[in-house]
Structure 1
Amino acid sequence: MTETSQGVPIKSREARRVVEEATARLADARLLLASDGPYRDKVRETYLAARQVRVQTELRTVGVEELEKRRKKLRVAVLRKKGFRDVPQVLEAGVDGLVEAGIGETTARPAFAAAAELSDEVDADLRFRIDVDPDDPYATDLVRSLRMFGVVTDARHRHYDDSRRLHAVLPQYIASAQALTRWWRRLLADTGRRAEASAAIGALRNALAASSPDLAAAASQVRTIVGRRGAADVWEDFERRSAEYYGLLSQVVDLGDDHEAAEGFLPADVVRRVEAQPLDRSLLHANLRAYQAFGAKYALVQRRTILGDEMGLGKTMQSIATMTHLAATRPDDDGPAHFLVVCPASVVTNWAREVTTHSRLRAVVMHGGDRDAAARAWAEAGGVGVTTFEMLGRLDLPADLSPTLMVVDEAHYVKNPETLRGQTVRSWSDRADRVLFLSGTPMENKVAEFKAMVGYLQPSVARQLDPNADLSGAQAFRRIVAPVYLRRNTEDVLTELPDLVQVEEWEEFGTVDGAAYGRAVAEGNFMAMRRAAFAVERADDSAKLVRLRALVDEAAENGRRVIVFSYFLDVLEQVMEMLGDVAAGPLTGKVKISERQEMVDSLSAPDGPRVLVSQITAGGVGLNVQAASVVIFCEPQVKPTIEAQAVARAHRMGQTRTVQVHRLLVADSVDQRMMEILDTKAALFEQFARQSEITETSDLAVAVNDPAAGVPSEGELGRTIVAQERERLGATGGLGGAGRSGDTEPVGVR
C-alpha cells in the first residue's frame, strides 16, 4: 500500500530517506546548538592552567625573604632551614604541609597568607600572551581548545537560526512519519495514523528544503576538528590566524582590557544605545574581539561615523561585520544590498580578499580595465563594490543607486572637501544610507581638517567644532564628537600584543659616505643629505649598508623576516642590489596593486624571501605585514606619524613575535638633527591626536605646527637643518666634500 503526500505517492523507501535525513539534520542542529558550552568551558580550563604556570614561573624568582616584607615578625630563617627557598614551594605545601615539615603553625599560617597575597598580585599584573612554543603542553592544550571552540562558534553563529528552527520542528514529525517507513508498520497503522504520517513526511520535506545546505557540512567539520589531536598543525594555524585565536579567548575570559577605553570613552548614554544594538554574524566568517563588535554596533547605531582606531586594530574587519549585519537583516523585498568601499589603490586587492575570506558577501573590484563591466554587475546584483578615489567619479553607475553602506578607507585623503576627490566622495556619501569613514590618524595636525571630515557625515556636529572656542580638554571634546567619532588605541585594547623593541643604530661616516654627505651639505641639498649615507658604489663603503646587512643576517639566523623602509627610490635600489635573492621588492608606488600583495604574501611563504624592501609611502599604508617581526628604517622620516604607520604594519593584531624596530642613523649628521627636532614633535602630536584635544587655539595644537613654538613645518625643518649643518661643517662641508660655497638655498625640501 502506498500513501500520498499532496497527491504524490509515498513509498516506504522514500519515507525512510526523508526520516533518516531529518534525523541526521536534527542531530546536526543539536550538535551546533549544544557544543558551544563544553568547549567554552574547555577554553577556560586550559587558559587558567596556562596562566597559573606563568604565575608560578614568575614567582620562582621570588625568594621567601620577600614574605618578611609583608609580615614583619615572620621567621623566614625557619622556612629556609626546612628547605623552603621560594614562594611557589610555600604555596604548594600549604599550611598543613608547612606544619608537617616541622614549621610551627604561628609561622606557617602568616607565611602561606603572605605567599597567597603575592601570588594574587602577580596574577593581577600578568599580561597573558600565548608564546609560540609547541613544546609547552599547557599552551598547546590552550591553542587546541581555542581551535575547537572557534570551529564550533563559527558554525553556531552561521547556522544558529536554522538549527533552532529544525530543533523545534523536526521532533514533532519524525515519530509520526515512522509509520510509513516499513511495510509492516503500514499494515499495523490505521487510516488516520497513515494520514498523519503522510502529512508528517510533507512537513519534514518542507523543513529540510528550507534549511541551509551548508548545515550538514558545518556539523561534519565540528565532529572532525573535535576528534583531531595533533599539535603541530594547531601551532601553524595559530601563527597564521593568531588574531582570531585571541578574539576567541576574549569571548571566554577577561584579558584585562580597559573597558572604557574599548568603548572609546564615549558618554554613558551613547554606550547604552550601542550595547543594546544586536549584531547578526550569520554571514560573517570571523570571531570579533569585544571592542570590534562594539565598533560595528556603533557604526550601525550612529549611521554616519568616523572609526578612528589606531592602525592594527581591525577597522576593515569591523566594517565587514557592519556590512554582514546589514545584509543579513535586510528584508528580501528590498532587493540586494550594495556596499561601496572607496580606498587607495594600494589596498583594493586586500579589501577584496578580506571580504571574500571573512564573509559570505561577494566582492566586486571596480578598478582596472574591466571596471565598467564590474560596476554594471555590482549595480545589478549588489555585493561589496571596491574602487579607488580616482575611479569613483568615472564609474558608469545609475544615478539613483543608493549604497546601503559606504566605507571610505584612509578617509584623511578627502580632508579637503574642495578638491575633486572630496566633492565626489561627498556626492556619494549624500546618496548612501550609512557612511563609515576609516582613518587611523583622522585629525592629522589640524582641527579644520577633522572638522571637514565630520562635515561630510554630520554637519550639525561639525558646526560645534569652532576653532575659536575653548573645548576645555578631552572630556568636552568627547561629548561633542561622540555621535560621530570613535577611536581606540592599541595598548588599551590589545593586552596580548608582543613587545615592541626600538633600537637606534648609531653609526659613523666613513671616507666615501662622509664625502658624499659633505658635498650635499655644501650644496645645501636637504634631500641629498638624507640619503648621502647610501651614495656609494660599494656596499662596504656605507656604514648604514654594512649595519643593515648584519641586521638581516642576524634576523635570518633567528628565523625572523624583515621589512626595510626608505623614502628614497635610489636607496631602495642600493639595498636590493646588496641583499640579492634574499629580498623581494622594491615595493614602490609604481608597482601594480596585485603585485604589491603578492610581494607581501611571498614573505609568509616557507621558502620565500627573508626580506621585503619597500618605499615607506607605499608599504607603510594599507598592507599588513605580520610575517615580518624586524623593521628597519634607512633614515628618519619628516613626519613622526609616517614611521608610526609603518611600524604598525608589523606590530599589529595577529603578530605573534616581539617586533624589533631598528633605525639606521649617523651621528653628527642630518639624522641626529632630525631626531632631536622630531622627538619633540612626536611627543606633542601624541598628546594632541591620541587624546583628541583638537582645538586649533589650544597651546598644544598651535605647538604642533608653529615654528615659533619650537616645532617647525616640513619646509622649515629642512632649511633649519641645512643651516645648522653648513655652520657646523663650514660652507664647503667638513667631511672631505668638494661642494661649492655660498648661501645656496636648500633644494629638494619635502
Structure 2
Amino acid sequence: MGRGEREAVGRARELAGAAARVVEDHERAVDAVRDALRPIQEELVERELDTIPVARLKDVTEGRLRLGELEKGGFRTVRAVLDAGPYRLRQTPGVGQRTADQAFASARQIADAVRETVAVRIDVDRPEPRTTALVRALHVLVEAGPQARRAAETGAGLAARLEALLEEARPVSGALRMLFAGRAGRLRALAAVDELRRLVEEAERDGVPQLLAQTSVDLLRGPDTDLAAWVDFELRASDYYGLLADISGRGPDSAAAEGFLPDDVAARVRQQRLDDGHLRVSLRGYQAFGARFALAQRRVVLGDEMGLGKTVQAIAALAHLAAEGQSHFMVVCPASVLINWTREIEARSTLRPMPLHGPDRQEAFADWKGRGGVAVTTFDALRGFPTPGGGELALLVVDEAHYVKNPQTRRTATVTAWAERCERVLFLTGTPMENRVAEFRHLVRILRPDLTEVADGQDAQASVAGSKAFRKAVAPVYLRRNQQDVLTELPSLQHTDEWEELSAPDEEAYRQAVRDGNFMAMRRAAYARPERSAKLQRLRELVGEAADSGLKMVVFSAFRDVLGTVQDALGAAGTPLFGPITGSVPPARRQRTVDEFSAATGHAVLLAQIEAGGVGLNMQAASVVVLCEPQIKPTIEHQAVARAHRMGQVRPVQVHRLLATGGVDERMVRMLETKSRLFDAYARRSEVAESTPDALDVSDVSLARRIVEEEQARLGMAAAEPV
C-alpha cells in the first residue's frame, strides 16, 4: 500500500493513543478522589451506626427477629453487631445460628442504607490528613475544569471508534498482509483507512488533539502545597462539593431535585437534551434539570430558594440555545445585580455579555442588534428599547421577577410586552409571592394565561386543598427546590432571636414614636439613643464574639440612619468596617465593597441596607448575619440570610435577629409568621401538611396601621393618623 495510507493509519494511531491516555488520566484522578473519600465515609457510617440501637434490626425483619439474648450479651448498637460478625454472635449464650445470621444480615442492610445517605462535609477550620488528601484529590479535577470530563467522554468515544477501524485497517501496514487479506479484506481495509482519515481530519479541525493533550497535562498537575489546596477549596467550595456529589453518587433525592413535579412534566424535562459545550463550569444534577425545565417548558418561573444557583441555570439554558445556533438573548434585572450578571456570564460561559446601561445604552443596543450576544439591562432601561420582532430573541431572562408582580406598573407592562414577543421566557425569583397569592398568579399569567384560568378557579386562601390545587395547576410553569433538599453539604444554619428589654431612653423614644403614629420611627426607636441602646449593646457583644473567633459578619438594617448609628459605634471600637451598602451606592461600587470585604484577612463587618445588600450580592465570606430589626416581609429576611448561607459557604452560619420585647417587634414577628405559612403553602412546598385557614392577605400598609393602633391602645394613647 501507498505511503499516504500508512501515514493516515499512523496519525489515527497517535490520536487513539492520546484519547486512551486522557481516559486513563481522568479515571485515575476520579479514583484518587474515591480512595480519599472512602475512609472518611466509613468513619461517618460507623459513627451513625453507633447511634442506632440494636432494636432497630427488628424493622428490617418486620419484627420477626428475637434480640433479647443479643442485648443481654452486650450488643447495644447496630455497629456492635456488625463488628462482631456472625461467628462471634453465635458464641453468645442463647443465640443460634439462624438468629446470628439474620441479625448480621439486617445490620448490613442498615449499614448500606446509611452509606447511601451519609453526607461528607469538609471542615475548613479543622483540616486533618484525611480531609486534606480529599481536598488535594478534588483540586486536580476542579483545576482541570469541566472540559476534563468532556475530554474524557470525547476520548472514550473516539478511542473506541479508532481502535475498531485500526483493526480493520491492519492489512495496509504491509504488502504481504494485504496479499493474504483477500479482496474483501483489502476493500474493508481501504474503507477503514478512508474513515480514519476523515475522523482524524475532523478531530484536528475541532481542536480535539490539543484538548486531549492539555487535559492530560492538567490532570497530572496537583496543588503546590496543602495550604494552596485548602485556600482554593475555600474560594471554590461549590465546585469541590459539586464534583464530590457526582463522584460519590450522593446527590439529592431525585424527586426533590426535580421539585416534586408531576410525573408527566418531569418525564418530558428529562428527555430534553442539554448541550453544555459553551459552559465553563460543571452543573449539579438539579441545576441541569432546572436548565432542561426552562428549555422543555419554554415559558417558566424558576423559583429555587436563594443560594441554589438560579443564575448559572439560566446561563446553561442560554449556552444550550447558543450551541443550537441562536444569537440574541436578553437578561433584565435590577440595577444592583447588573454587574454581577455580566461577570457571571463571562466567568461561567463562553458567551459574550453586553451591558445596556448608562448614557451609551442606545449605542450598545444597536451593537447588540447587529452582532448578537447576551444583552444585560435594567427594568427601567428596557422601556427605552423597541420590543423585538417575533423570533428575533431566543430567550428573555427576567431576574428578580417579583419586581413585575404588579400589573399596574410601567415596569410590568414593558416586561409583559417583551414576553409576548418571545417564544422562550425564563423568570427567576426565589420569592415569587411576598404578600399576595395574586402577585404570584400574575407572574404565571404573563407566561401562560391558560394555566391561571385553572388556578383562578381555586379558593386560594381557604384551605390546604386550595394551595395543593394551585401548585398542581401551575406545575408546568413553576419549578422550585429548597436548600435543605438538594444541598446536602451545606453547613448548618442557626437562627437565634435576641430578645432585649428596652432601656429607659429606648422606651422614651419608642413611646414618642407611638404617640406620633410613626410606624417607621417605632421600628428604629431602639437605636435613637445610642449611648443607652440595649440592641446596640447586644450587637457590640456579638461583634466581639465574632472577632474572638476571627469570623466575618454582615449587619443588615432597613434603615440608613440605623446603619449610621451602628457604623459610629463599631468604628469607635476599632472594628474593621466595610460599607455601608445602601440604595444610593452604585451597583459596581456595591460589588467592589463585597469583594474587598471578602478579601480582608480575619474578622471584618459589612454594613448593608437589607433591600440593597440582600439581593444579588454573594457574601459567602460571612458566617455571622445580624438583622437589626424584623422586616415587613419574611422573604426579605430569607433573601438577606441566603446571601451568606448559600452554595460555596464552608462554615456554619449564625443568624441573630435583634428584637425588643413588648412592642412593635413582638407584633411584627407574630404577624409575619402568618405570611411565612402562606408562602410555604403556595410557593415553597410541593405538598402542605397542615391547613392554613388563617393565611390572611395582609398588605404592608394595613399591617403597619394595625400595629400602630394596637400599640397606642396598649400604651393608653390617643389614636393618631399613622405616618
Change (3 A) 1:106 1:282: same
Is residue 650 of structure 1 aligned with residue 644 of structure 2?
A: yes
Q: Which among 593, 609, 620 is matched to residue 614 of structure 2?
A: 620
Deviates more, 1:584-593 or 1:134-143: 134-143
Matched, 1:441 2:431: yes
Matching of residues 83-232 of structure 1 within 5 Å: 88=79, 91-96=82-87, 106=96, 109=100, 116=108, 119=111, 123=115, 126-132=118-124, 135-150=127-142, 154-159=146-151, 163=155, 167=159, 207-211=203-207, 215=211, 218-225=214-221, 227-228=222-223, 230-232=225-227
Deviation for aligned residue 1:616: 0.7
Extract unaligned runs of 5+ from structure 2. 175-191
Paired residue for 1:555? Answer: 546
Instruction: Tell me, yes or no, if the aligned pair for 1:584 and 1:613 is still in contact at 8 Å.
Output: yes
For the residue of structure 2 that corresponds to 1:385, the secondary structure is strand
Correspondence 1:357 to 2:351: no
Cα deviations by residue, 1:319-362 (Å, 9 ceiling, x for unpaired): 111111111222xxxxx611210001111111111111111111
The one-letter code sitting in structure 2 at the alignment partner of 1:50 is I
**Residue type matched to 2:608 in 1?**
S
Cα distance in 1, alignment partners of residues 435 and 366 from structure 2:
40
The 5 Å alignment of 1:90-489 reads 91-96=82-87, 106=96, 109=100, 116=108, 119=111, 123=115, 126-132=118-124, 135-150=127-142, 154-159=146-151, 163=155, 167=159, 207-211=203-207, 215=211, 218-225=214-221, 227-228=222-223, 230-255=225-250, 257-330=252-325, 337-395=327-385, 402-467=392-457, 472-474=465-467, 476-489=469-482
Identify if the C-alpha distance between structure 1 residues 47 and 161 changes in structure 2 by more than 3 Å, giving closer, same or farther: closer
1:653-706 Cα shifts (integer Å, max 9, x gaps): 222221111011111222122222222332333223323799xxx99588331x
Cα gap change, 1:289/1:32 in structure 2, threshold over 3 Å: closer, same or farther?
same
| Residues 36 and 152 in structure 1, CA contact (< 8 A), matched pair in contact too | no
The TM-score, its normalising length taken from structure 2, stands at 0.84
Alignment equivalent of 1:576, drawn from 559, 567, 578: 567
What's the secondary structure of 1:341's corresponding residue? strand
Count residues in correspondence: 689
The separation in 1 between residues aligned to 2:315 and 2:307, in whole angstroms, is 15
Residue 386 of structure 1 aligns to a residue whose secondary structure is strand
Give the distance between the partners of 2:154 and 2:369, measured in 1 at CA.
30
What is the distance in 1 between the residues matched to 2:381 and 2:28? 50
Secondary structure of the corresponding residue to residue 653 of structure 1: coil
- 1:632 and 2:626 correspond: yes
568-577 or 463-472: which moved more? 463-472
User: Residue in 2 aligned with 1:735?
Assistant: none
* Equivalent residue for 2:535, pick from 544, 550, 564: 544
Q: How far apart in 1 are the matches of 2:297 and 2:24? A: 35
User: Which range moves more in the overlay, 46-55 or 271-280?
Assistant: 46-55
- Which residue of 1 is the match for residue 487 of structure 2? 494
Deviations 1:156-205 (A, max 9, x none): 455468657865798879999999xxxxxxxxxxxxxxxx9999999967
Counterpart amino acid of 1:575? V
| 1:743 aligned partner, one-letter code | A
Q: Is the 1:446–1:701 Cα contact (8 Å) retained in structure 2?
A: no
Aligned-residue offset at 1:429: 2.1
Counterpart in the other structure of 1:11: none
* Secondary structure at 1:432 match in 2: coil
**Structure 1 partner of 2:187:** none
In 2, distance between residues paired with 1:690 and 1:154? 32
Q: Deviations over 1:583-632 (max 9, x none)?
A: 21111111011111112122221427611111111111121211111110
Partners of 2:240 and 2:609 in 1: CA distance: 32
Match of 2:179 in 1: none
Shift of 1:62: 7.0
> Is the contact between residue 712 and residue 719 of structure 2 (CA under 8 Å) also seen in structure 1?
no
Determine the C-alpha separation between the residues in 2 that align with 1:468 and 1:76: 56
Distance change in 2, residues 1:723/1:134 (3 Å) = closer
Range with greater deviation from structure 2 (552-561 or 208-217): 208-217
The one-letter amino acid of 1:563's match is: V
Q: How far apart in 2 are the matches of 1:455 and 1:198?
A: 57
Q: Is the 8 A contact 2:629 2:659 kept in 1?
A: yes
CA distance 1:701–1:310, change in 2 (3 Å): farther
| Counterpart code for 2:721 | E
Check if 1:713 corresponds to 2:699.
yes
Q: Which residue of 1 aligns with 2:500?
A: 507
The residue type equivalent to 1:631 in the other structure is V
Query: Which residue in 2 is equivalent to 1:739?
Result: none
Cα distance in structure 2, aligned partners of 1:314 and 1:583? 28
SS of the aligned residue for 1:463 comes to: helix
Deviates more, 1:602-611 or 1:669-678: 602-611
Superposed CA deviations along residues 544-569 of structure 1, whole A, max 9, x for unmatched, are 11111111121122232111110111
User: Partners of 1:42 and 1:197 in 2: how far apart?
Assistant: 38
Identity of matched residues, %: 47
CA, structure 1 residues 468+220, in 2 after alignment: closer, same or farther (shift >3 Å)?
closer
CA contact (8 A) 1:473 1:693 kept: no
Any residues of structure 2 matched to 1:674-685 within 5 Å, and which? 674-685=668-679
The one-letter code matched in structure 2 to 1:148 is V
Deviation at 1:241, TM superposition (A): 1.9
**Amino acid corresponding to residue 546 of structure 2 in structure 1:** A
Residue matched to 2:182: none
The 1:466–1:579 alpha-carbon spacing in structure 2 relative to 1, beyond 3 Å, is: same
Report the counterpart of residue 184 of structure 2 in structure 1.
none
CA contact (8 A) 1:402 1:433 kept: no
